[in-house]
Amino acid sequence: MDAPDIPQIYLITPPEFELSSFPAQLAHVMDAVDIACLRLSLATKDEDRIARAADLIREEAHKRDVPLVIESHFLMAERLGLDGVHLLDGARSVRHVRKELGQDTIVGAFCGTSRHDGMNAGEAGADYIAFGPMTDTALGDGKTADVEIFKWWSEMIELPVVAEGALTVEMVETLAPTTDFFAIGEGIWKTEDPAATLKALLAPLA
């Protein structure tokens, strides 16, 4: 993923969804908001369910020229015809996964709150680095990513950077000058109208 001039939207699926109805809901969101990349992020470890979900949403994504990456399960990426993988262990497996999947596949790395980890992941061959969460959340270890990481990164590092997790309208406004992507997912899918919720969250970018 190349660094854009203004932040683009990296959409994440909910951890669980109905295979029968979600593709239509996803299509509605992708038609309402310009999406740069889509991530399949399922909680299940059921290979068959992941494969069926990937088949359904790949069709919607590729119809709109949106690359689809899978979270963690890099061995499934090639088999399912996906565009890449999003790794959750910082820099640890980037080099190995890059070697396995080749240079043409997207490899992204979530590095939590660690700038050091982000730099290591970049050196190991990641295409983008994600930091987060951006505001307090009960998930994870309670730490939040410092907004200064994004300012420093945008000045010093060419690799695209993603702000992910517990985003608010205020945080979108604050980070708009320094992040390349906003990764947004579970929060919007819990609402009655995910497209409207996403648009409201992104109001500062309008």
**Domain extents in the chain:** 8-205
Q: Rounded distance, CA 72 to CA 86, Å?
A: 6
CATH placement of domain 8-205? 3.20.20.70
Q: List, for residues 137-163, the tens digit of each pLDDT value.
A: 876 778 999 999 999 999 999 999 999
Mean pLDDT of 60-82: 97
Quick: pLDDT tens for 92-141: 999 999 999 999 999 999 999 999 999 999 999 999 999 999 998 876 77
Question: What's the pLDDT score for residue 4?
Answer: 61
For residue 72, the SS3 value is coil
Handedness of CA 169, 111, 152, 126 (dihedral sign): negative
pLDDT of residue 142: 80
**pLDDT exceeds cutoff 80 at 2:** no
**Where are the strands (E) in 7-121, listed by range?**
8-12, 35-40, 68-71, 84-87, 106-110
Say whether pLDDT at 57 is over 80.
yes
Average pLDDT value for the chain = 96
The pTM assigned to this predicted structure is: 0.96
Is a pLDDT exceeding 90 seen at residue 8? Answer: yes
Q: Are 53 and 73 in contact (CB under 8 A)?
A: no
What Cα–Cα distance (Å) separates residue 181 from each residue in 93, 140, 176? 22, 21, 9
- Residue 154 in contact with residue 116, Cβ under 8 Å? no
**pLDDT at position 139:** 67
